[in-house]
Amino acid sequence: MEYLKNLWELFVDMSFYMIIGLVFTGILHAFVDKNLILKHVGDKSTASVVKASVVGVPLPLCSCGVVPTAIQLGKSGASKGAVVSFLTSTPQTGIDSIIATYGLMGPLFAVYRAIAAFLSGIFSGIMTNTLCKNEEAISEAPKSSCGCSHSSKAEPSKKSCGCSHSSKDGSSTKICGCSHGSKAEPSKKSCGCSHSSKDGSSTKSCGCSHNHTTKVDKISFIEKLKSVFSYGFGSFLDEIAGHFVVGLLVAALISTLIPEQLLSNFTNPILSMIIMLIIGTPMYICSTASIPIALTLMTKGISPGAAFVFLFAGPVTNIASLTVLYKSLGKKATAVYLGSVAICSIIFGLILDYIVNIFQYQGVSVVGHIHDHGTPTYMIAFAVFYGILLIRSFIKKYNNKSIDNTCCSH
């Protein structure tokens, strides 16, 4: 029962700020031109490293979802430094996680987290450009995005699978596979083999073909406004829902099972930060889902700096994305990327502990005891609403998975 109580309190604490964050995420998605962003950071200058870090801080992409976007940067002509800068700064924060961090951990953590993401992105990018200056940006495009799916709800898309037969002027054609179409930018994909005969000749072609229309209708303000909610409460929430729930479950488990004094026994700050780094690096957790875990660790006695190392390293890296990056960036750039993450997380953790000790910052403890004075009714209402959204996301994922299993896979 104590576990369920802790789980509910954490969920109520986060729901209000998550909903606000989802709205701002939708605004960012609807009104910011991603192609314009890619254009500005798609060169090999040092300025592109800084721009990539600036762009990455507010974007709501997880450590796995950021990989395809970073690869696109490389294809656009960006240096490996710009790609690594984007990979470092983007997963640490997003407009949603910044708001949630402010709500649960106080303004210091929220601002400091954004600044650390920005500066660490620049550091890792410059280090990569310096140590990997003679290497190409992208050596091989990844075949998958590590299990993350990204879709836009601004316009509906259709997927059809099966075989079609057509005959004309004595020729016969059979095409098997799947086709995808979007109203905003229609696209068709057909996979399989086609056989045709004409004038006694026979031809067989196998593979996939893509057809795109270049004309894109301008999206009205009303449509953009609708996509704010369809993306924020739809596509984006679908991406992070599973990780958010896992983060809550783990945080409640830590709060219930780990004694108050256990983590406080790690008196050496660097040792505790290294432990958090080892735990956080291989984990697949988004920047928002890492918040309740870090907050719970602090209530159990770990220092704010050590908790920040987990906030830093947990979202930035995971085993799945590292596998793809190794193939795309190469061994040397991946090693520089990991080394930069490790160095920056510990340095910023030590600086945060120093700031907290000097100014005797108490912002986090206020949130930790919010339920001692009763939970406001409006926060419970937001929690119920957010819970309904999460259930809706899980139902959609289950239905989409069922459809994919009965259709075809890529």
CA 335/CA 333 separation, integer angstroms? 5
Tokens in use for 382?
């937001």
Pair 348, 116: CB distance under 8 Å: yes
Token look-up 């997963």 returns 91
More confident residue, 267 or 358: 358
Q: Residues 6 or more apart from 141 whose CB is under 8 A from it? A: 71, 75, 328
Cα 325 to Cα 34, 63, 195, 338, 375, distances in angstroms: 22, 11, 39, 11, 44
pLDDT at 189 (0 to 100): 46
**CB hemisphere CA count around 280 (13 angstroms):** 33
- Is the predicted pLDDT of residue 345 greater than 70, yes or no? yes
CA 154/CA 151 separation, integer angstroms? 9
Neighbours of 399 (CB within 10 A): 10
CA 68/CA 361 separation, integer angstroms? 39
CA 258/CA 298 separation, integer angstroms? 12
pLDDT at 63 (0 to 100): 65
Amino acid at 263: L
Amino acid at 3: Y
- The mean-pLDDT minimum among 99-103, 338-342, 390-394 falls in 99-103
Percent of the chain with pLDDT over 70: 71
pLDDT at 136 (0 to 100): 58
Average pLDDT over residues 260-269: 69
pTM of this prediction exceeds 0.75: no
- Is the predicted pLDDT of residue 388 greater than 70, yes or no? yes
| pLDDT bracket for residue 262 (50, 70, 90) | low
Q: Which of 66, 35, 102 lies closest to 320 in space, CA to CA?
A: 66
Average pLDDT over residues 256-278: 79
Q: How far is CA 79 from the centre of its chain?
A: 22
Q: What is the pLDDT of residues 188-197, one digit of tens each?
A: 444 454 454 4
Q: Which of 50, 119, 127, 135 lies closest to 339 in space, CA to CA?
A: 127
Q: What is the dihedral of CA 266, 267, 270, 272, to 10 degrees?
A: 20
More confident residue, 404 or 12: 12
pLDDT at 335 (0 to 100): 92
Q: Which of 251, 316, 247 lies closest to 281 in space, CA to CA?
A: 316
| β 157-168/187-198 pair status | unpaired
- Is the predicted pLDDT of residue 184 greater than 80, yes or no? no
- Is the predicted pLDDT of residue 326 greater than 50, yes or no? yes
| pLDDT bracket for residue 138 (50, 70, 90) | low
